[in-house]
Amino acid sequence: EVQLVQSGAELKKPGESLKISCNGSGYTFPYFWIAWVRQVPGKGLEWMGMIYPGDSGTTYSPSFQGQVTISVDKSINTAYLQWRSLKASDTAMYYCARHLKSDAAHDYWGQGTLVTVSS
Amino acid sequence: DIQMTQSPSSLSASVGERVTITCRASQGISNYLAWYQQRPGKAPKLLIYEASTLQSGVPSRFGGRRSGTDFTLTISSLQPEDVATYYCQKYDSAPLTFGGGTKVEI
Show Cβ contacts of residue B29 under 8 Å, excluding neighbours closer than 6 positions.
B2, B69, B90, B92
Distance separating alpha carbons of residues A108 and B40, to the nearest angstrom: 18
Determine contact, residues B63/B6, Cβ cutoff 8 Å. Answer: no
Between CA A50 and CA A82 the distance in angstroms is 13
> Who among A44, A50, A104 is closest to B87 (CB)?
A44
pLDDT at B106: 97
Confidence (pLDDT) at A101: 87
User: A51-73, pLDDT tens digit by residue?
Assistant: 999 999 999 999 999 999 999 99
Q: Is the pLDDT of residue A117 over 90?
A: yes
Amino acid identity for residue B56 in this structure = S
Tell me the average pLDDT of chain A. Answer: 97
Q: How far is A5 from chain B (nearest CA, A)?
A: 12
Give CA–CA dist A112/A92, Å, rounded: 10
The 10s digit of each residue's pLDDT in A95-114 is 999 998 888 999 999 999 99
pLDDT beneath 50: ranges in chain B: none
Contact with chain B for residue A44, Cβ under 8 A: yes
Signed CA dihedral, A39, A8, A109, B75: sign only: negative
Whether B93 and A103 lie within 8 Å, measured CB to CB: yes
A–B CB contacts, 8 A cutoff, strictly below: 65
CA distances from B27 to A86, B24, B68 (A): 35, 9, 9
